[in-house]
Structure 1
């Protein structure tokens, strides 16, 4: 079994804002969601809508898979507060998906056996982002982020 984890520090951190469920700050949009399975669908809808608003329809499919995996992992932590899901544009050529939760347990990518029924989520995130994902530990939780390159910035 191979274990991998991308632990980083820096601008991956989501700033928890006012009590409003959705707010936007200079190309950053966030939504607070409960730790329930139905939050996965809500996160997908939120990211899909934001990327379409930004004219990044080509990234929607990959972004929806990524946020689904990250929110599913957060739901499994068993936290009782609310998670924060965000999407932002750190550069013109990058979209960053962020999921903040109240667990200090770090996500670990495992190499799942061929007959395994789970354990491939972070491997998919790793593949879709070309390894551009990571974790920022916080005093009371963490933020997992995953970066996608906009189609105009992809080398041909």
Structure 2
């Protein structure tokens, strides 16, 4: 069963087939991280390094926030099997950030009150991606994906 919200694509799982339209240097990358708080920073470094390699420096700040929120949510599931972090270029105009874990517990976007100390993460992801994020349920877990638009090149 696949659940996709907010305009995301249903083929958002970590495994990805051949995509001839995506440049070779934009090959997908995935890493497996332990369930420890320091893995959130490792996920940020991993995604930002790939964006810099692809020349997408302008997306690094938003991608850092997104992967931090998704990895933090993954840590909070209580699952200890694995946390996978991936970054893809499904098209030249999209960067997809993925965080997978062994829990089938779905993320929930809540309305955090002014005094709340948590609960704003998915709202930030929603805002930064313009609603292009979603969840793919797997037999033994899930993958949460978030898509960032790649700005069009500026004509010279």
Structure (1/2) with the larger strand percentage: 1
How large is the Cα RMSD of the aligned pairs?
A: 2.2
Equivalent residues in 2 for 1:119-134 (5 A)?
119-134=119-134
Q: Deviations over 1:44-70 (max 9, x none)?
A: 000010000000000000000000000
- CA distance in 1 between partners of 2:147 and 2:52 (Å): 17
TM-score, with structure 1 as normaliser: 0.85
**Contact in 1 for aligned 2:98/2:144 (Cα 8 Å):** yes
**Contact in 1 for aligned 2:26/2:54 (Cα 8 Å):** no
Task: Note if 1:43 corresponds to 2:43.
Answer: yes
**Contact in 1 for aligned 2:94/2:148 (Cα 8 Å):** yes
Task: Note if 1:6 corresponds to 2:9.
Answer: no
What secondary structure does 1:86 align onto?
strand
Runs of 4+ in 1 over 4 A off after TM superposition: none
- CA distance in 2 between partners of 1:26 and 1:60 (Å): 15
What secondary structure does 1:105 align onto?
coil
Matched with 2:88 is: 88
Residue segments in structure 1 that go unaligned for 5+ positions in a row: 17-23
**Contact in 2 for aligned 1:9/1:136 (Cα 8 Å):** no
Q: Deviations over 1:69-120 (max 9, x none)?
A: 0000001111121211000000000000000000000000001111111100
Matched with 1:70 is: 70
- Size of the aligned set, in residue pairs, is 143
Describe the shift of the 1:49–1:26 C-alpha distance in structure 2 as closer, same or farther (beyond 3 A).
closer
**Contact in 1 for aligned 2:25/2:54 (Cα 8 Å):** no
